[in-house]
Structure formats: structure tokens, C-alpha cells
Chain A
């Protein structure tokens, strides 16, 4: 990057450079998800993008397994359940919308593409079909999907999409809202009129550049190959099931992305599992933890009908496929064996 004040709102040379960086990034991200770059707004996070969008709708219908960013900002008035495998109940959605839209025009339906805890892929195309039948707008939280499965907006009639930079290797602190420009969205953050007035505040130029570069790299990959990660994940699951057959793998029968496992032991609280694995040098996470570090129950596990296991779930995440392939000994079979052993010692 050039050395100089890259404030994109400035008229001078470096200001113009800054503007170029932002527009380049917008182009790369537009290419990655196959959409018009002019419909992309940069925010500080996917959470902010969701809040910006949701503040424009009175009636928002969401699934019960959405990320807290969606659940909290949707106010939780209209919730669609999921089945035991963690897949949104389409029949319920249809019946619900049929009743709801009679009295509520301007309804937004929001369903995530991939669940962040289980990795279960949602039937987003069917969701769009149903929502459109009842003339609803549709938003998809694709934070977990981007980089793992194909996200092509020309093949799906979504009105809004939100994504997060750090999920594909950009720094944290950068998100995007892709919007349908036939809807006149009101901004939440007012000020200097950046991002076409939709999100004021001097642009996070480093984050935006990072997101753009990550998108460029992602676009140039031939496909979303995850063979190696999938191999390691299945190896670990298999090993765990041999040593600890009572382990429950959530969403096991559903179509899932390869990089996450959400699992539980009926007799071991999730926080104990986390502490013990951490002391054995495995960094795993729980369904949900608040900023104090206190672990609460997983609303996703609960929504899938495993109420008794909601405090027990533990999430394992793998790095991206190409990083696993290109970095020798990043994840070894020996370490996976040790992990399965530690799990069985819980």
C-alpha cells in the first residue's frame, strides 16, 4: 500500500488512492459472489450489516437456529423451527407466511445459509421460493457459507446477503451488506455520508483491502474443494465413535460443510470439556459464550430438540482446506488420535 493518508473522502492524491482501494475490493467481492458491486456496503461486521438491514423492517421471520446477531436484532417475534437434523422446517415456514402476510406487508424472511454451530447447510433456494410466493423480502446470513460452499447471487433470488471478512481470511472488523437497490434502506449510523450515505464513518481501509484480497484469492480457486478437511474430520469422528460411542454428533445426517463438528457427551458439561481440552492444548469452543466467558446453553442444540444436551455441546473447527494441504504437520493424524483419546477421558 502507498504510504500516505488514504482517507477516501479526501480530494488529494492519497485520497483518490484510498477510493481506488475500496472500489477494487468492492469489485473483487462482487465477482466472488456474482453480484453488482454497486449494491455492496461495507460495515464493521456482518452483525452491523444485519442490524442495519433489520432496522428497516417491522416484521422479520427468522429460523430458530440463526446466529445471535439475527435472533437479537429481529426481536424474535416470528420464529420458524428446525427438525432434529437442524434443517429449517419448510412446511412450517409456508403455513406461517400464508397467515402472516395477510396482515403484514413488507415482511422480511431471514434464514442462514450454513449454521455456525452444526455446519448444516440450509435449503436456502426453497426458502427463497416460499418467501417469494408470499411476496416477502429475503435475507440470508452467509457468514459461514462464504468460502466453504458456492455463494452465487445470480443463481438465487435473494434480496439481501450479509457476509463477514474474517471468515475467508481477511482481518476481523469488516463485514458487508449486499442489498436490493429497489428497496430504500435507511442508515443506522449517520455522519459524513460514506458508503452512499448508508454507513457513515471513515472507511476501514485495511479491513476493506483485506476483504477484497481474500475475495480475489477465493475467486481464483477452481472450486470450493474441501476433500482434505473432510477426510480429517471424518477420521476424527470415526475415531471418537470407536472410543466413545455415546458421543452425539449434531446434524450428522444432514448435508454439512466440512470444517465444523458440533458434538456432546451426555454426561459431560460443555464447559468442563472445554477446560480439560484447553489444558490439553486443544482450542475448541462451546455453542455459545458471553463476553464474561460464562458459558450458556446452545440455542441451536436446544432448537434441534436436544434440550438435555444444550449445556454439553462442544464445537471443533478445522482450518481451510488449502491451508491444511499447504502447511505440513498443521493437523496430524497423531494429534487427532490424541484429541479422540482426550475426549474419551472426559
Chain B
């Protein structure tokens, strides 16, 4: 059973809840719906806002992702059930400019982007944030599984208590200033607890499946979306090995991700022993429009460059220290030494152990090496040279 006093304490707003208007970012999913429900229970003056991010009719219909048409309706039904006002924000052109275009261009640069972080960074925590303030709110609450804690007067970010649901990887770009205003009432809950709150409030979304992928990408077919957004800019090219031998053709480098093994379209090679016959995508050469494949060892990466770093802590005096770092949302954190360039806001990260399949465009998110739940900040992986880059590529 959820202790509502704990929710109020975590909200960290002075005085009686009824004196505070809290805007809840409602996607129509169970998490943000329960966020609203808990805050209503706690006695806050709750207002629900839902962002309409794209025309779901035009942007291919799909099931199982947030922010489609039926999701807006779900958010409305939940708000009606909870007796709170609910409004829809038309952010279609903002989302197109700031998230979808960036997503397409990033793939064309041979990167693997994370549009959900861009969306949090821009539309959600900039524009919606601003709207919540204009509506007189004391805070903007979201349904993310992440914790905001105040320690010794400093506000810090911690991973969600439920490691399976933790969303800290997607929120590393949250600034200290934003952290003063946003709240995450589900940070200490498990998904089961969330669903039980939804059931107790008889919300129609109580059994709604979690969204699995990027909201504007139907059935995970991201390359189709890129082709639609950037017609004519995806060209056929060669698939070559690390020695420059042509192995086949591809129909666009956007179809590939560094470290990818399946679906390259090249079978095993004769006369090569088994371990070497498994091919991975090692590099995407955007200049020559080539996909370079090779054995796993070529993916080995010891050092990465990270740009646009965001720090949620007061930075230590020294520019070098050890951190835990996550290089993909689904991967386990690894140990590395960070070297910060304060002037240009980038950093180098040197791994203890070589990493395989590090992709530019993804985020590197840092955690405290002494307290792994403490999120220090993060940045974008700008360069991730692997063994191939060290080799002489004369033949290619």
C-alpha cells in the first residue's frame, strides 16, 4: 500500500498540498495516470496536460506507443475519472522541428539517436515546463521512474528504486534549474504498485501495456520514418570488410547500427573459421556511403569523446575522476575515468575494460562510483573510435 504522506514528503512543496497547483504531464499511459491519481489523493490542485506531438493519422497508425490518438483520449478519460481539468497542447510543429528532424539527420550522420531524450530536453522540459509555470503551478510532475532527493540543501537525481523500470538514462539532460520544478512521484514505486493504484482508482488504463518503442515510429521500423522525413537522401552503397573487399550491397546506411550482427544481409564466408565468420557492423562511412563489417574484435573501444555534458552535481575541483557509466539504456554500467574539459563542455572517458559496439548519437550517463544510484549527469557520445580507426584504412 502506498503511503500518501510519503508522496507528499517527496513532493517537497511547503505547506498544505491544497495550496499548490501541480501540472501533471499525462501521456495517456498508466504511469502518468497514476502520478495524477496519487497527487489528487494527496490533495494537490492537479491539472493534466497532454502533448499532441504529431498527426497520428498522417504519421502512420500504430499500437503500443505513447502519444497516439487513443492515448490522448485515455488521458482525458483518466482526468475525467479523477475530476481534474485536462488540456491538450498542440506541439506538432515544435516536435517536428526539435525531435523528428534531429532524429532523421542523426541517422543520416551514421549515428543512433535517442529521440526520447531530445523530447524530454526540449518539448517536455522546456515548453511544457514553461506552460506549467504560466498556469501558476508550483511543480510539473511526470510518471518517470526516477527519484529526486534533497540532501544538505542540494537537489540530486537518483535512479528509480525499481531497477527494471529505472529511466535515469533518458533524463541525464535534466538541468539543476529544471530539477527545482519537476517532480517524479513514482520514483520509489514498482510497476506492480503503480498498477495496483490504477486498479484502486478504477482507471481505464490499469491494464494498458507499457509502450515499448519510440512513439512516432510504428512497429520499430525507424528506417521507414527516416526515409519518409528525408526523401531522396538515403542511397544504396557497398558493404565492405575491414580490408576493403566488397561483400555486397546495402540500400542505405540508416538501416545499420554500430555493433549490429543480425540482418546485415551477408552470409558466413567459406574458408574462414567460425569465430571470424560472424560479422558485425564496425563502422558507417557516411562520406563514401559504405557499411564496414568485420569480426567482433574490431568493435573494441577504449576511449570515447562526450559532448554537451550536463552535470546535475556541483563539479569537483579536479577534472579527472572515476565514474560508473551507461552507454545504452539496456546495458550494465561500466567503470571509466572521466577527464573533463570545462571550457568547451566536453569530456573524454577512458574505460577500464574495452567496450564493444559503442555508437555515436547515444548517451553516456554517469553514476557515482561510491553510490551507483546517484546520477551525476551525462552527455552525447560524439566520437567512439574502435580498432578499425586505429588500423590503416588505405585499402578502403
Contact = CB atoms under 8 A, between A and B. Distances in A.
Contacts of B92: 294
Interface string B212-230: 0000000000000000000
Given A271-B87, A271-B89, A271-B90, A292 B135 contact: no
Interface string A270-305: 011011101100000000000011111000000000
B87 A275 contact: yes
Nearest to A274: B87
Contacts of A276: 134-135
Contacts, number: 39
Nearest to A278: B85
A294 B52 contact: yes
Given A272-B131, A279-B47, A296 B85 contact: no
Interface residues of A, number: 12
B69 interface: yes
Interface in B87-119: 87-90, 92
B332 to A, nearest CB: 40
A16 B218 CA distance: 56
B85 A292 contact: no
A266 to B, nearest CB: 16
B76 interface: yes
A274 B131 CA distance: 12
Most chain A beta-carbon neighbours within 10 Å: one of B52, B87, B136: B87
B76 to A, nearest CB: 7
B90 A294 contact: yes
Contacts of A293: 50, 72, 76, 86-88
Interface in B178-199: none
Interface string B120-134: 000000000001001
Nearest to B56: A292
B72 A292 contact: yes
B131 A295 contact: no
A279 B23 CA distance: 12
A292 B69 contact: yes
Contacts of A272: 131, 134-135
Contacts of B85: 275, 278-279
Nearest to B47: A279
A278 B90 CA distance: 17
Most chain B beta-carbon neighbours within 10 Å: one of A272, A279, A293: A293
A271 B131 CA distance: 10
Interface in A118-159: none
Contacts of A278: 85, 87
A276 B47 CA distance: 11
A274 B86 CA distance: 12
Nearest to B69: A292
Nearest to A276: B135
Interface string A243-254: 000000000000
Contacts of B135: 272, 275-276, 279
Contacts of A274: 87
B357 to A, nearest CB: 40
A280 to B, nearest CB: 10
A271 B73 CA distance: 18
Most chain A beta-carbon neighbours within 10 Å: one of B50, B52, B90, B92: B90
A343 to B, nearest CB: 14
Interface in B32-83: 47, 50, 52, 69, 72-73, 76
Contacts of A275: 47, 85, 87, 135
Given A272-B131, A279-B47, A279-B135, A292 B87 contact: no
Nearest to A272: B134
A287 to B, nearest CB: 12
A23 B142 CA distance: 57
B131 A294 contact: no
Contacts of A271: 87, 89-90
Contacts of A292: 52, 69, 72-73, 88
A296 B90 contact: yes
Contacts of B73: 292
Contacts of B134: 272, 276
Nearest to B88: A293
A271 B92 CA distance: 14
Nearest to B51: A294
B320 to A, nearest CB: 47
Contacts of B69: 292
Contacts of B90: 271, 294-296
Interface in A183-222: none
A294 B88 contact: yes
Interface of A: 271-272, 274-276, 278-279, 292-296
7 contacts: A275-B87, A278-B85, A278-B87, A279-B85, A293-B72, A294-B72, A294-B89
8 A-B pairs closest in CB distance: A293-B88, A294-B52, A294-B90, A294-B88, A275-B87, A292-B72, A295-B90, A292-B88
